[in-house]
């Protein structure tokens, strides 16, 4: 065998060895992934993952709910909707006029998100924002006059701690004034079929002419969930901002819903996200969404009077979603 043939044979052997090595590495990696997956599953099973797994498996043998009794709860207005079909499957005064309180901020957030192509764009909060909120008893996220904040952090600030200063900052940046921004909100409401809704502000502070219905808020949340960024924000338990010119360590804020919900699991699934609201005129309100046996549902409740727990709207959500899961499980 000449030298050239020897080199070719040696090269073929090297290629075969390399292929075998790559195959062994790949098999080893796959085994490690499987082991880690099993360990993660075992670790998380008691933390609500069992509900998700059962939901994924149950989708194949459990038909969706078509009707559910939503009475017997703290809230005076209740609307339960199947997200995929838009079908109302539970209705208690769902078309009656309500004051939406901070559920309004769902509209504020989605209008703002649709207005910006760059969510890292920074907005400087003016003194006028804080003058406007002075004496209004409005919840704030914790930003200060003169602070420069990214759009995405302001949206998180709207949806999680219900920050009114975040609403006004985005309204001013998008439209030049809150009044002009509210016009966009009302136009958007009409375009998605919210026929019984009228907004007067972007924060949800009480005004007799600022009203909606549980059904309209469900339509709004259904629309907003098509936006991937909105969904990501609404499903977050907390958010930490990067350093700003005022807060060198950033700010961390928490969801007003999740901080009052120690366990998000419900029968057949899990509560995924939502937006709370409260004024003395509106009562406790909540627009939430959950996955039950592999299918998503939206629940809007309003008009819950304060009780000893302080979270009647949270309790109503747990009650109705559990009731829904039990009904689906029986099918």
Mean pLDDT on 96-114: 98
pLDDT over 50 at 8, yes or no: no
The H or E element spanning position 284 is strand 283-292
> 175-197: buried (b, 16+ CB within 10 Å) or exposed (e) per residue?
beebeebbebbeebbeebebeeb
The predicted structure's pLDDT at residue 107:
98
Q: State pLDDT tens for residues 44-101.
A: 555 455 444 444 444 445 788 889 999 999 999 999 999 999 999 999 999 999 999 9
Q: What is the pLDDT of residue 135?
A: 84
Confidence of residue 16 (pLDDT cuts 50, 70, 90): low
Say yes or no to pLDDT of 133 above 70: yes
- pLDDT tier at 331 (50, 70, 90 boundaries)? confident
**194 to 108, 117, 186: CA distances (angstroms):** 15, 26, 9
Q: Are 301 and 313 in contact (CB under 8 A)?
A: yes
Instruction: Output the pLDDT for position 109.
Output: 98
Is the separation of the CB atoms in 137 and 143 below 8 Å?
A: no
Q: Tell me what percent of the chain is helix, strand and coil, each rounded to the nearest 5.
A: 45, 20, 35
* Residues above pLDDT 90, as percent of the chain: 76
Residue 136 has pLDDT above 90, yes or no: no
pLDDT of amino acid 65: 83
Spatial CB neighbours of 322, under 8 Å, sequence gap ≥ 6 = 266, 267
**One-character DSSP codes across 126-189:** PHHHHHHHTTS-----S--TT-EEEHHHHHHHHHSS--HHHHHHHHHHHHSSHHHHHHHHHHHH
Residue 15 has pLDDT above 60, yes or no: no
Confidence of residue 21 (pLDDT cuts 50, 70, 90): low
For the chain, which residues make up each domain, given as ranges? 3-47, 51-329
CA separation for the pair 254, 77 (Å, rounded): 26
- pLDDT (tens digit per residue) in 230-259: 999 999 999 999 999 999 999 999 999 999
Span 309-323, average pLDDT: 96
Task: Give me the pLDDT at residue 315, please.
Answer: 96
Does residue 134 carry a pLDDT above 60? yes
Please state, as a whole number, how many other Cβ atoms lie within 10 Å of the Cβ of residue 231: 15
Pick one of 1.20.1250.20, 3.40.710.10, 3.60.21.10, 3.40.50.720 as the CATH number of 51-329: 3.40.710.10
What is the residue-wise DSSP string for 89-118? EEEESTTS-B--GGGHHHHHHHHHHHH-S-
Site of tokens 């969510």: 119
Q: What is the mean pLDDT of residues 140-166?
A: 97
Q: Is the pLDDT of residue 123 over 60?
A: yes
Higher pLDDT, 130 or 47: 130
């Amino acid at each position: 065998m000449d030298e050239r043939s020897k080199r070719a044979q040696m090269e073929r052997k090297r290629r075969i060895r390399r292929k075998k090595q790559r195959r062994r590495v790949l098999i080893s990696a796959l085994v490690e992934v499987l082991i880690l997956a099993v360990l993660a599953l075992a670790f998380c099973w008691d933390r609500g993952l069992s509900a998700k797994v059962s939901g994924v498996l149950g989708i194949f043998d459990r038909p969706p709910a078509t009707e559910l009794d939503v009475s017997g709860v703290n809230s005076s207005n209740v609307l339960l909707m199947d997200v995929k079909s838009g079908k109302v499957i539970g209705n208690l005064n769902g078309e009656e006029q309500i004051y939406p309180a901070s559920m309004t901020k769902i509209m504020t957030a989605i209008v703002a998100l649709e207005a910006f192509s760059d969510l890292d764009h920074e907005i400087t909060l003016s003194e006028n924002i804080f003058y406007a909120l002075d004496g209004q008893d409005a919840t704030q996220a914790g930003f200060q006059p003169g602070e420069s904040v990214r759009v995405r952090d302001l949206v998180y600030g709207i949806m999680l701690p219900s920050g009114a200063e975040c609403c006004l900052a985005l309204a001013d940046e998008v439209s030049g004034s809150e009044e002009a921004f509210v016009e966009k909100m009302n136009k958007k409401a009409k375009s998605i079929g919210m026929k019984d809704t009228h907004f007067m502000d972007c924060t949800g502070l009480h005004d007799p002419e600022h009203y909606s219905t549980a059904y309209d808020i469900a339509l709004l949340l259904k629309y907003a969930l098509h936006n991937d960024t909105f969904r990501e924000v609404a499903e977050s338990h907390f958010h930490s901002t990067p350093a700003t010119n005022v807060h060198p360590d950033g700010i961390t804020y928490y969801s007003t819903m999740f901080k009052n919900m120690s366990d998000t699991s419900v029968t057949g699934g899990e509560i995924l996200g939502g937006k709370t609201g409260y004024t003395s005129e509106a009562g406790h309100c909540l627009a939430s969404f959950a996955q039950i046996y592999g299918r998503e549902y939206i629940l809007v409740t309003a008009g819950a009077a304060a009780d000893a727990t302080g979270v009647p709207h949270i309790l109503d959500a747990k009650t109705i979603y559990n009731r829904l899961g039990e009904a689906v499980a029986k099918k």
